[in-house]
Structures are given as C-alpha cells and as structure tokens.
Amino acid sequence: MSVARIASRAQVGLHAPLVNVEVHLGTGLPTFSIVGLPAPAVKESKERVRSALVNSRFEFPAGRITVNLAPADVPKEGGRFDLPIALGLIIASGQLNLAREDALAHMEFYGELALGGELMPVEGLLLASAHAASAGHEMVVPPANADEAAVAAGSVVRAPKHLLEVCRHIDGTEPLTLLRSRELALRSCGDTLDLRDIRGQLQAKRALSIAAAGSHSLLMVGPPGSGKSMLAQRLPALLPPLTAAEALEVAMIASASGSGFDGRSFGQRPFRSPHHTASMVALVGGSGSARPGEVSLAHRGVLFLDELPEFERRALEALREPLETGVICVSRVAMQAEYPAEFQLIVAMNPCPCGYRGDSDRVCNCTLGRIDQYRWRVSGPLLDRIDLRIEVPSLSTQELMSAEPAAESTAEVAARVLAARQRQLARSSRLNSRLTITELSQFCRLDSVGERLFWQTQSRLGISARSYHRILRVARTIADLDGSASIEAHHVAEALQLRRAMEPTTA
C-alpha cells in the first residue's frame, strides 16, 4: 500500500483554496473512487486518466484506488485535477522516482488530460496563479494557460505539452523551461469611439462628463435613434486608465466567470451591455457554482442597460444593493461567494412604449395612462438611486446635416475628468459618488444662496433624503470639474436640473 500527495487549487468565488490530491493504492477488488465533493466533470476524470496513462506507456495500477481531494468541504469542479490525479497514480505505483524527496513540496499542477496524454486548457487559472505566487509555489499548467498564469506578479510557471514531459521534469531527467511573471501592457479603450462622432446633444455630453468625473449613474430618456447607445459606448474612454492592480482584479473576475482571460483587452475598462431578456441570475450572478454576473463583470467599468423598462422587474430590483455598497453576495445551497461590483450604471429608455420619435408622418397613439404604466415599470426606489436623469431629444435632418462648431474630443473631456478625479481623491481619498453621510457634511457644504435655492426646489418637488445626498454629490462633482473649491449656487442649480427627468414616486 502506498500514498502520493500532489498539490492543486480549487476555485470558490474569487478565492483559490489549496487542494491536496491524495492517491492511495490498496489491495482488494479493482475500484476507482474519487471523494471530496467532486463535481461530475471531476468524477469523469477516472476514464480520461486511465486512457492517458495507458497511451503514455504507463501501467494502470490494479487493486483498490482511492483519490481524496482535501479539504473535503470545498467543492471541486472542472478538469483541472486530471494531471495531479494521474501523477499521484504514477508515483504511488512506483513508476516514477522523484529527483529529491521535497521535489513536489512547492509545486502545483493543473491540466485536463486528453486520452493520449496531452494537456488541455482549463478555466480560472489566473486566480490560482495569484494565490500560488503569494504562497511562493511553482505552477505546472497546460501551454494554452501559460500566458494567463504568468500575468500574476511573482508567478513561476512551467508549461509542458504532454504528461510524459511532466514526469521527466519531476524525475530530473529533462527539466521544463521556466516562465516567470510578465507585465502585460495596460491597454486603453482607444480613440475609435469619439464624442465628436455625436452631433448636437450638448446637455447629454455634459451629463456624460459629470457622470465620468464622479462615477455617477445616469438615465437617458429619448426616442430611438437619438444617440443614447452611442453616448453610453463612449463613456469608458472618458474614464482614467486602470492601474495594474485594478486591471488584474478585473481580469480575475472575468477568469472566474468562465468567459476566460483575454490578454488583448487587459487593462481596458469593462463595458457590459446585456440584452433586456437577461435574467436576475445573469445580472447579479448565481447558477449552481455561484459565478459572477454582469454587475461584477462590469466592476471598475460601465454597465449599460438599454430598454430599461423591458428588463424583468426582479432583475432590476436586485441592482439596488450593489449600487449602494459596491459588493454583491451570491448565496447558493452549496456555496457562498462575494464579488466586487463597483460599476457605473448607465440606463436608457424610450419616452413611450411605441418609441415615437416626433416624426411628422405619424402620431403617437399612446395614452397618458399607458405611458405612465410603461415608465413606472422601473420602481421609484431604483430611480431614486440614479444620480443623473436627462432627456435626449431626437435631432432633425437639418440639424444632423448642418455644419456645427468643432466639438470637444474624447481626449479633451477625459483630461478634465482626470483632473476632477484627482481633486476628489486628494480631498477625501474616494470619488464623490462614494462619499459617506459624514463626508458629505464635511466636503459638500453649500453657500447661503445655494442652500436657499435647494430648499425652494425641495419644497416644490418633494425630494427624498436619498435624493438630497445624491444631489450634493453631483454638485460637488460639477464644482470639481470647474476647479472650484466650494459648491456655488450655479453648481447646485445644474445638479438639480440634471435630476428633473423621471422624478420617482414614493417607494
């Protein structure tokens, strides 16, 4: 009887706990059992490992085989444990001698095995790489995962193509090439989508720059074809570039979601635009393995919801918590996972159900009752959490074809946004949209004229306490864009004006 222990890692949310793959060979009737909360894909590794060993000229051990994936209370998924299970069988059966006794002490193994012994790629190795680097462990991964695993700072990676290469590395006859961590260039969003492409819509562009400067949420109400989607698509380029740590965090979330790591977009602000048929689970995360949803995939970037009233009511209501906290907790029977969700929400909707644009050759047949019913599919509490609400009118053909003065480019607006954000971080170490109530009273004091203007408007519109705080945050951002140390009356007036459309009813 003999036992072999090989290290690997599971994936639980944004954590990658260490898993010891223990293989025990005993006497008795031939059986092959895998224990330790294995998913069906892990259980199926028995047949893949058997074929890979035989086709690699190893003898498959006879007798009772027990594979334990410890700790037993951590769910294990995917084919990443094929390679460590195969190595455990080879070592436990005495078919492979270690170069030294502690050869495996600081190594972790990952890879799905093809029937011929080739190493196939697996999901989520960026998380495992980051944790392995912090533990000072070396990783052995499939070649297709080498670039992903080498991104984490301090990672040490080897990428064999076949099971036999791994065995020759372990016994010291033919060491594998070492790939140390590499720094990917942080990619910007580029200048392919420029604000200059949008004719007119000066108020919408102004609102977009304010949203970018303070990380505020924005609602655009306008007929089809007025430019709402074009405006939203240009927001990521107005935001400052991600830092290396932020880019790694965004990439880790993408890796955990199953969509995989894409080095070509590393460092870009995410822009997520799910269809209005998306379910609540798709938006906030879930499924059996508690994977991240759109709110987490848009972390540090933009979540754009077009045709807002067409989304499922439960899905929209689920956005309220992450909008306030910047975090989403996904709970399932088998596991719980907490994901970051600091995204900028940009939403758009038509002014009426039929999408009437004001064309002269047709008439809107929607009654006021039908329009109200359409608009209030979005609840008052959710609308109350949206900082900026503007109307985006349709432009006439004459306005589209007429010459207009040179508009500001994305680069020019982005420079102002960056300066405003730097003022915010220097003052309170956070962006204005995240200011606490205590910080609001400290950094967002109004002068006498601004305070009088606000209370006159409040008594007429019935602004809620939450709206009051959000208006203060927006006014502070407008002042930062102007380079003003204090919030003046015209900053308050603009903040109030940018919140007029779609005033919510009481919750």
pLDDT truncated to tens, each residue of the chain (507 aa)? Answer: 478 899 999 988 888 999 999 999 998 889 999 999 999 999 999 999 999 999 999 999 989 999 999 999 888 989 999 999 999 999 999 999 888 878 898 999 999 999 999 999 998 899 999 999 999 999 999 999 998 888 887 888 999 999 999 999 999 899 998 887 666 555 555 556 888 888 888 899 999 999 999 999 999 998 888 889 999 999 999 999 999 889 989 999 988 887 777 777 888 899 999 999 999 989 998 776 778 999 999 999 999 999 999 999 999 999 999 998 999 988 776 677 889 999 999 999 988 777 665 554 455 767 777 777 777 788 888 988 899 999 998 887 776 776 566 678 899 999 999 999 999 999 999 999 999 989 988 898 887 787 888 777 776 766 778 888 899 999 999 999 999 888 888 998 899 889 876 554 433
Q: What is the DSSP letter of 483?
A: T
CATH 3.30.230.10 in the chain, residue ranges: 2-180
Q: Report how far residue 114's alpha carbon sits from residue 49's, in angstroms, rounded to the nearest whole number.
A: 8
Q: Report how far residue 491's alpha carbon sits from residue 332's, in angstroms, rounded to the nearest whole number.
A: 46
Ramachandran region, residue 258 (left: φ > 0; alpha: ψ -120 to 50; beta: rest)? left
Task: Output the DSSP codes for 106-142.
Answer: TEEE--EEPTTSBEE--S-HHHHHHHHHHHT-EEE--
CA separation, residue 34 to residues 244, 265, 333, 404 (Å)? 40, 38, 22, 70
Tokens of 182: 């590499």
Q: Report how far residue 29's alpha carbon sits from residue 286's, in angstroms, rounded to the nearest whole number.
A: 41
Q: Report how far residue 25's alpha carbon sits from residue 114's, in angstroms, rounded to the nearest whole number.
A: 23
Rounded (5°) CA angle 221-225-228:
45
CATH 3.40.50.300 in the chain, residue ranges: 195-397+406-497
Q: Any residues with CB less than 8 A from the CB of 200 and at least 6 apart, and which?
A: 395, 399, 400, 404
Tokens of 69: 């994936």
HSE of 162, CA atoms in CB hemisphere, 13 A: 12
pTM metric for this prediction: 0.87
**Tokens 């455990």 label which residue?**
88
Tokens of 185: 């260039």
| Percent of the chain as helix, strand, coil, to the nearest 5 | 40, 15, 40
pLDDT at 14: 86
Pairs from 463-470 (Cβ < 8 Å, separation ≥ 24): 464/384, 464/506, 466/384, 466/385, 467/384, 467/499, 469/437, 469/440, 470/385, 470/387, 470/499
At the top level of CATH, which class does the domain 2-180 belong to? alpha beta
Fold of 195-397+406-497: Rossmann fold (3.40.50)
Contact in structure between 330 and 337 (CB atoms under 8 Å): yes
pLDDT at 263: 76
- Alpha helices, DSSP H only, in 171-272? 202-214, 228-233, 235-238, 244-257
pLDDT at 1: 47
